Structure 1
Amino acid sequence: MNERSETLQRWIARQHALPFDACPLDDVAGDASFRHYYRFRLPNGTQRVLMDAPPEHENSQAFVDIARAWRAARLPVPALYAVDLEAGFVELEDLGDDVMHHHLGDDADARTWFERALHLLERLQRQAPCDDLPEYDHALLARELDLFPEWCLTKLLEIPVPPSWPALRESLIDSALAQPRVAVHRDFDAMNLMLHEDALWLIDFQDAVKGPISYDLVSLLRGRYRLWSQVHMAGFIENFRQRAQEDGRLPPIDADTFHHQVEAMGVQRSLKVLGIFCRLTLRDAKPRYLERLPHFLAHLRQGLAAVPAYGEFLTWIDTTFTPALCRELDRRGIDHPLEERIS
């Protein structure tokens, strides 16, 4: 046990007026951030989860505020039982270990689960208050996009930024800002949807913002656990458009325009993810994230191909970026099947 986990154990023992030895912690998991999670059991058998989020690295205030606001809005988020923002400790309801991505078997199963997740997304967009959330504005969208040339092109691959980049960057930002604004989870992904009491629950929402209606849609559809065909993508997007117009989340918009907005949002997110994974490798010494680059490159290619105006950048991806990435992955001994099965 290290010093911080011992401090956490003493903290939770005090919360429940228990001796230190009565609150052993079981390591649950960490994630791409500095947060770490533990599970412990109360004397009556009830299990709880402890989040350790070092305050010098993580903003627990945002997590706590959003958890309370969304739970008050009758959204499925874990209850908070104790909070110490100065220490970075939070005691949470235990939702178990059953995550949506465990259930994505064949195509039929995956479609069923994705449709369940999209119904939850509708609830989130209709019910979650968003006026107090940070704005997903031009500056934030730009910072996210700039991760790609900084970390992926310059620092990992050491290749120049293509001439088509500035126009693509501004086009993606403009498309995002043109959309209706809703509460955006920002990592609405099969890994962050827990199956608890036969329902999907939201976790890992501390980075939520007020932003484009399509962001969480593509976060799910172009996430790390599925590579949908363009036909399936078009079906998901059109169904979302029709339901969002019916319940007022989306004003009247023709199918082609909305489809292009969604795919452009997916391009923005894929570029951001590629940049983040390179940063995790180079700055944070987590090279396993390089193994995910081919999957998100496939997402990026599909998104670019769906918007004719992005053809020049897609050509650069195929002729310059992909060969450079292959060489780097080969150099590091990482398998890179860039032609993934399209479901």
Structure 2
Amino acid sequence: MTEADIPTRLSQLRRWAADQHGLDAHALELRLAAGDASFRRYYRLRLPDGATRMLMDAPPEQEDSRPFVAIAGRWRAGGLPVPALHAVDLEAGFLELDDLGDTPLQRCFHGDDHPATLAWHDRAIDLLHALQNRASPDALPPYDAALLGRELDLFPDWCLGEWLGIAAPPGWEALREALIASALAQPVVTVHRDFDAMNLMVRDDALYLIDFQDAVAGPLSYDLISLIRGRYCRFTAPRFAAWVEAFRQRAVAEGRLSSGTDLATFLTQAQAMAAQRALKVLGIFCRLTLRDDREGYLARLPHFLGHLEESLAALPEHRDVHDWLRDHFHPALEAKLAAQGIAGGSLA
């Protein structure tokens, strides 16, 4: 869908929503609420009685909404906090959902070390435990070696090749295979796949899950890493380790992780998972910029580079790549950001 298509899609969405409620399309109160990194757009519908709903416009030629609908039904039946679906037209690509408001979790953060920020992360981790306990991964596509590999390849393909014009480091293939093996060694659970603060909505002091259409059956630590190595905070190594250990203990107690998995093993797996995700995000953000003409993503690269450096520092067998980041990637990225005049581009 191009920008030129948006007015036509909006007109169609307006008529569809009016039909659902027996209202005059011209009198319908409909306002753009949000867009995201995909082709989906969200509009807030205000009904005559003052109630509001969220309308999702997901062009079917670019967005398959069937996984979202199926997962929403299963997770809601399992008692998980997801928006209810009030109307669905998969052929048109229109959905009417609960309106969860305008407060994604990151708006509740007040600095990395603020007690409120830490408390909200604790609550989000509690929700993650509920997700893994209540949502079976059986009906989800596998987060297998092929998918993990495709995600990792986004880094050399898009970040290094297409954007920076440099080659992958000499130790890349060894790192790639090690990160895949580490992920596959973990227990398989339901993985939201983007369990970041922006996909956790706060309404009436409760957390709700959104944007779960890409959920897979995959590694136990993946969603935890998405949260505590996300895009909004940088936590200290002791804080990171404490969350990983608390998560490990609860996963063992609830039967999702073998009691034979000690802290050192699980912490290493978590660091490897964090490296995998950081590499994927660095590639995705460059692809969103270069292929999809999205703005604002390049300025976020230094944040995830920091995550990547922290993870690789904890994996001494990959010190060659860690050193390459410092000696080659770091200066190349900083120079490229500075040359493009991108705010926030300093890596100092």
TM > 0.5: yes
2:94 maps to 89
C-alpha displacement of 1:197: 2.6
Among candidates 47, 51, 61, match of residue 46 of structure 1? 51
The letter for the 1-side match of 2:90 is L
The letter for the 1-side match of 2:257 is L
Q: Within 5 A, what are the aligned runs for 1:161-172? A: 161-172=168-179
Matched, 1:277 2:282: no
Q: For residues 326 and 197 of structure 1, what CA distance do their matches in structure 2 show?
A: 42
Q: Within 5 A, what are the aligned runs for 1:102-117? A: 102-106=107-111, 107=113, 108-117=115-124
Secondary structure of 2:49's counterpart equals: coil
C-alpha displacement of 1:282: 0.6
The letter for the 2-side match of 1:61 is R
- Whether the aligned pair in 2 keeps the contact of 1:73 and 1:129 (CA below 8 Å) is no
Among candidates 200, 203, 207, match of residue 200 of structure 1? 207
Q: For residues 196 and 120 of structure 2, what CA distance do their matches in structure 1 show?
A: 12
1:316 maps to 324
Among candidates 217, 222, 232, match of residue 210 of structure 1? 217
2:242 maps to 235
Among candidates 241, 254, 258, match of residue 266 of structure 2? 258
C-alpha displacement of 1:246: 0.7
Q: For residues 176 and 311 of structure 1, what CA distance do their matches in structure 2 show?
A: 19
Matched, 1:224 2:231: yes
C-alpha displacement of 1:281: 0.8
The letter for the 2-side match of 1:189 is D
- Whether the aligned pair in 1 keeps the contact of 2:271 and 2:314 (CA below 8 Å) is yes
Secondary structure of 2:296's counterpart equals: helix
- Whether the aligned pair in 1 keeps the contact of 2:29 and 2:47 (CA below 8 Å) is no
C-alpha displacement of 1:24: 2.5
C-alpha displacement of 1:286: 1.6
The letter for the 1-side match of 2:346 is P
Q: Within 5 A, what are the aligned runs for 1:54-133? A: 54-106=59-111, 107=113, 108-133=115-140
The letter for the 1-side match of 2:184 is L
Q: For residues 290 and 181 of structure 1, what CA distance do their matches in structure 2 show?
A: 32
The letter for the 2-side match of 1:182 is V
State the identity %: 58
C-alpha displacement of 1:287: 3.5
C-alpha displacement of 1:41: 1.2
C-alpha displacement of 1:19: 1.2
Name stretches of at least 5 consecutive residues in structure 1 with no aligned partner: none
1:141 maps to 148
> Can you list the C-alpha shifts for 1:228-278, whole angstroms capped at 9, x where unaligned?
111110111011011111111111201101000001000000000000000
Q: For residues 186 and 222 of structure 2, what CA distance do their matches in structure 1 show?
A: 10
Deviates more, 1:191-200 or 1:133-142: 191-200
Normalising by the residue count of structure 2, what TM-score does the alignment of the two structures yield?
Answer: 0.96
The letter for the 2-side match of 1:176 is A
C-alpha displacement of 1:285: 1.1
The letter for the 2-side match of 1:336 is G
Normalising by the residue count of structure 1, what TM-score does the alignment of the two structures yield?
Answer: 0.97
1:174 maps to 181
Secondary structure of 1:25's counterpart equals: strand
Secondary structure of 1:2's counterpart equals: helix
Q: For residues 240 and 200 of structure 2, what CA distance do their matches in structure 1 show?
A: 20
Find runs of 4+ consecutive structure 1 residues off by over 4 angstroms. none
Q: For residues 214 and 241 of structure 2, what CA distance do their matches in structure 1 show?
A: 28
Q: For residues 104 and 138 of structure 2, what CA distance do their matches in structure 1 show?
A: 30
Among candidates 193, 196, 205, match of residue 189 of structure 1? 196
The letter for the 2-side match of 1:236 is W
Secondary structure of 1:27's counterpart equals: strand
- Whether the aligned pair in 2 keeps the contact of 1:294 and 1:336 (CA below 8 Å) is yes
- Whether the aligned pair in 1 keeps the contact of 2:43 and 2:54 (CA below 8 Å) is yes
